[in-house]
Amino acid sequence: MKDIRQIQSDFPILSRSIHGHPLVYLDNGATSQKPQQVIDTITSFLQTSNANVHRGIYTLSEEATEMYEGVREKVAQFIHARSSKEILFTRNATESLNLVALSWARQNLKKGDEIITTVMEHHSNIVPWQILAKERGIILRFVPVITEAGILDIDACTQLLNSRTKLVCVGHMSNLLGTVNPVKVLAVKAHEVGAKIAVDGCQAVPHMPVDVQDLQADFYVFSSHKMLGPTGVGVLWAREEILETTEPVMGGGDMIKTVSKTEATWNEIPWKFEAGTPNVSGVIGLGAAIDYLTHVGMTHIWDHEHEIAQYVLPKLLDIDGVHVFGIQEAHADRGAIFSFWVDGMHPHDIASIFDEEGIAIRAGHMCAQPLLTAYKKSSAARASFYLYNSIADADAFLAAIKKAKSIFS
Amino acid sequence: MSDLYREIIIDHYKHPRNVGELPEADVHGHEDNSVCGDVVDVFISFDDQGVASEIKWNGEGCALSQASASLLSDMLKGKTREEIAQITEGDILEVVGTTLNPSRQKCATLAVHALYKGLKG
């Protein structure tokens, strides 16, 4: 097992200094840094095996195809999909959710049907449904958040579910609160009324072991760049039987079997949903990221972040004038994401002072405006930790809050 | 101490000058920063000689945007409409800090842009 120093030494960017301070990167909720192993794998592919995929015959294309499709297998194993046929590569998780909206939902939902999402969602799990709802006369309902507790109001969700509900959308872990939602409970409830469930796993897959079959999900999406892989690659997992009966929405190369002047027949799943040349080097980079995460161990990563949360939360709450959104104590249903506000200070000023100390945190609406509105706030500051963040990083973070406070006192 | 948050910024943020509204103002400009939701309104009334006699501003947001608005309101006093129109982003950045990165420059120049909008009417 790698210790924290070994892990940190795998990430070249962490040896950078910012404004004369060693970089402390705490914006992992937005994107993660990349280990040398991922960088090397992409470079090596481009240097030695680059070719288009699924074009066959010559050696390079065979190699590129084998590597690209090999990652599909890796992804399937990583999230415990039944088969790699259920793994679709997209540009990012946002595109994955939009693809569900534009294909399955558009083909199966009609006027008067209902979609349930939650107030806790990232905008990408709200806006695609709003667009579809407006276009098709579908009713969009929201599961409220119990703000003091930082959790979804599951009883309210039960009340919202009915025979017209066709889809329930929920984030596995909140990007603002760090709350791990009871996806399996919601999946069972959704299935009881004949609805499907779409899960945004962007903040979960990088940080904890995920088993899409155990969760009883129907759709599950996540992004490569938040889990040590490159940007430009997203994943959509969907049950094979759903993909088989859904029509593709993008036409072009690779997604067809035959084309005449008047019509075309589709390729098998998953390729019928992957029109055009995919992000081959990006997908191969994602494969290296999964290898890295698997080598460290997802349970180990989750435990490490839990330790960070146990260390940070009480100290953070102890600072006068500091308030933390959501769950106030470290436990199994909370990740190492800390969104907070400080009396008398705007989040942007907090982030600026942190930047002067070499610490990268997020400030703003966090792409979760309905959730902030529920807390009667327009913006927040957020520190989100990952496997390469140490207790020393946590100490630097806590010291910077105290410094910010002293500047504004 | 902080390079960004020098005493003058903290002072104007915590003790903003000329805060308020002028419903009958000759110039009223409003600007918001869509990235962070900061807002500033600037109000100017001119006397018979065309000199800015009453200046008020109102807003909500980070220390840089609010302190800059306060500093700007002080700069406007005693100036004619023509002189006010000559004020540039650079003038306010000179006071607030020339080393701000582009996203923070937007905060610092929010009030200037509210002013420009007001002058355009």
**Contact between chains at B63 and A363 (C-beta distance less than 8 A):** no
Query: How far does A105 lie from chain B, in Å, by closest CA?
Result: 31
Smallest Cβ–Cβ distance between B36 and the set A356, A379, A407 belongs to A379
* A residues 189..248 contacting B (CB < 8 A): none
Same structural domain, A57 and A202:
yes
**Residue B2 falls within a domain, yes or no?**
no
Chain B positions touching A349 (Cβ under 8 A) are: 5, 62-64
Of A278, A294, A310, which residue sits at a domain end?
A294
Amino acid at residue number A394 = A
**Which residues on A lie below 8 Å from B4 (Cβ)?**
352-353, 356
User: Is B78 a member of any domain?
Assistant: yes
Question: What domain range includes position A177?
Answer: 40-294
User: Is there a contact between A352 and B104 if contact means CB atoms under 8 Å apart?
Assistant: yes
Residue from B55, B11, B37 nearest B106 by CA: B37
A window 250-309, beta carbon within 8 A of B: none
**Same domain (yes/no): A89, A167:** yes
Instruction: Tell me the per-residue pLDDT of A319-331, one tens digit each, with 9 for 90 and over.
Output: 999 999 999 999 8
B76 is a domain residue: yes
Of the candidates B2, B38, B62, the beta carbon closest to that of A407 is on B2
Give the range of the structural domain holding residue B69, as residue numbers without chain letter. 7-120
A-facing residues of B in 92-121 (CB < 8 A) are 104, 107
Q: What is the reported pLDDT for A1?
A: 66
In a domain, A189, yes or no: yes
Structural domains of chain B, count: 1
Token reading at A283: 């997908």
Based on the fold, state whether residues A281 and A342 are members of the same structural domain.
no
- Is B63–A349 a contact, with Cβ atoms under 8 angstroms apart? yes
Give the minimum alpha-carbon distance from A119 to chain B in angstroms, rounded to a whole number.
20
Angle at B100 between CA B97 and CA B105, to 5 degrees: 95
Please give the average per-residue pLDDT across A34-41, as a whole number.
98
Q: Find chain A residues with C-beta within 8 A of B35's C-beta.
A: 364
Mutation target for A interface from B13, B62, B106: give the one with most A CBs within 10 A: B62
The yes-or-no verdict on residue B100 having pLDDT over 90 is no
Q: Is residue A147 part of a domain?
A: yes
For residue B66, is it within any domain?
Answer: yes
pLDDT in tens, A137-184: 999 999 999 999 999 999 999 999 999 999 999 999 999 999 999 999
User: Could you tell me which residues come within 8 angstroms of residue A5 by beta carbon, excluding any fewer than 6 positions away?
Assistant: none
Mean pLDDT computed over A24-45:
98
Confidence at residue B37, expressed as pLDDT on a 0 to 100 scale: 77
Cβ–Cβ below 8 Å for A346 and B63 = yes
Amino acid symbol at A251? G
pLDDT, average across residues A193-215: 98
Provide the pLDDT confidence category of residue A2 given band limits of 50, 70 and 90: confident
Whether residue A128 lies inside any domain: the answer is: yes
Pair of tokens at residue A378: 């327009």
pLDDT value at position A108? 98
**Domain final position from A294, A323, A358:** A294
Q: Write down the pLDDT at residue B118.
A: 96
Same domain, A290 and A304: no
Indicate the average pLDDT of chain A: 97
Smallest Cβ–Cβ distance between B10 and the set A352, A365, A407 belongs to A407
Closest-CA distance, B65 to chain A, in angstroms, reads: 10
Instruction: Please report where in the chains the tokens 């003091």 appear, as a residue.
Output: A148
Q: In terms of domains, do A302 and A327 share one? A: yes
Q: Which of A277, A294, A311 is the last residue of a domain?
A: A294
Catalogue the E-assigned strands of A260-374: 264-266, 322-324, 337-342, 359-360, 362-364
Distance in angstroms (rounded) separating the CA atoms of residues A144 and A373? 12
pLDDT in tens, A209-231: 999 999 999 999 999 999 999 99
The verdict on A185 and A57 lying in the same domain is: yes
Inside any domain, residue A65: yes
Would residue A208 count as lying in a domain? yes
Chain A neighbors of B107, CB-CB under 8 A: 348
With H, G, I as helix, E, B as strand and everything else as coil, classify residue A179. strand
A20-31 average pLDDT score = 98
Question: Can you list the positions of beta strands (E) in A247-336?
Answer: 256-259, 264-266, 322-324
Which residue does chain B place closest to A400, by CA atoms?
B2
Dihedrals φ, ψ of A122, to 5°? -65, 150
Query: Searching chain A, which residue's CA lies closest to the CA of residue B3?
Result: A356
With contacts defined as CB-CB under 8 Å, which chain A residues touch B61?
346, 348
Q: What is the rounded average pLDDT of the residues A390-397? A: 98
Render pLDDT for A50-88 as a digit per residue (tens, 0 to 9).
999 998 789 999 999 999 999 999 999 999 999 999 999
Q: Would you say residue A35 lies in a domain?
A: no
Q: Does residue A380 belong to any structural domain of this protein?
A: yes
Which residues of A carry out catalysis?
367
What is the pLDDT averaged over residues A90-98? 98
Q: Which CATH number does the domain housing residue A8 bear?
A: 3.90.1150.10
Quote the pLDDT of residue B6: 86
pLDDT bin (cut points 50, 70, 90) of residue B1 is low
- B52 within a domain of the structure (yes/no): yes
Question: pLDDT-based confidence at B101, cuts 50/70/90?
Answer: confident
Tens-digit pLDDT profile for residues A350-367? 999 999 999 999 998 889
Same domain, A13 and A133: no
Q: Please write the tens of the pLDDT for every residue from B15-62.
A: 999 999 999 999 999 999 877 778 999 999 999 999 999 999 999 999
Q: Please indicate, yes or no, if residue B33 is contained in any of the structural domains.
A: yes
Whole-number Å distance between alpha carbons of A65 and A58: 11
pLDDT exceeds cutoff 90 at B91:
yes
B100 lies in a domain? yes
Chain A residues whose beta carbon lies within 8 Å of the beta carbon of residue B63: 345-346, 349, 408
Q: How much is the average pLDDT of A297-311?
A: 97
Distance of CA A233 to the CA centre of its chain: 12
ipTM over 0.95: no
Same domain, residue pair A228 and A346: no
The owner of tokens 């009667």 is A376
pLDDT number for residue A24: 98
Which chain B residue has the Cα nearest residue A357?
B2
A19 and A46 share one domain: no
Say which amino acid occupies B18.
N
Give how many domains chain A has, as a whole number. Answer: 2
Name the minimum distance, in Å, from the CA of A209 to any CA of chain B.
34
Q: Among A22-36, A175-189, A205-219, B86-100, which is the least confidently predicted range?
A: B86-100
Considering the domain architecture, whether residues A219 and A321 belong to the same structural domain is answered as no
What pLDDT score does B3 carry? 75
CA distance B36 to chain A (A): 6
Nearest CA in chain B to A350: B62
Domain holding B79: CATH number? Answer: 3.90.1010.10
Question: How far off is chain A from B63, nearest CA to CA, in Å?
Answer: 6
Residue A119 sits in a domain of what CATH number?
Answer: 3.40.640.10
Q: A251 and A192 share a domain?
A: yes
Is A363 within 8 Å of chain B by CB? yes
Q: Any idea what DSSP says for residue A101?
A: I
Statement to judge: residues A130 and A208 lie in one domain: yes
Nearest to A353 among B5, B13, B37 (CB): B5
Tell me the percentage of chain A whose pLDDT exceeds 70. 100
Residue A376 lies in a domain: yes
Q: Is the pLDDT of residue B4 over 90?
A: no
When mean pLDDT is compared across A103-107, A225-229, B35-39, B104-108, the lowest value belongs to B35-39
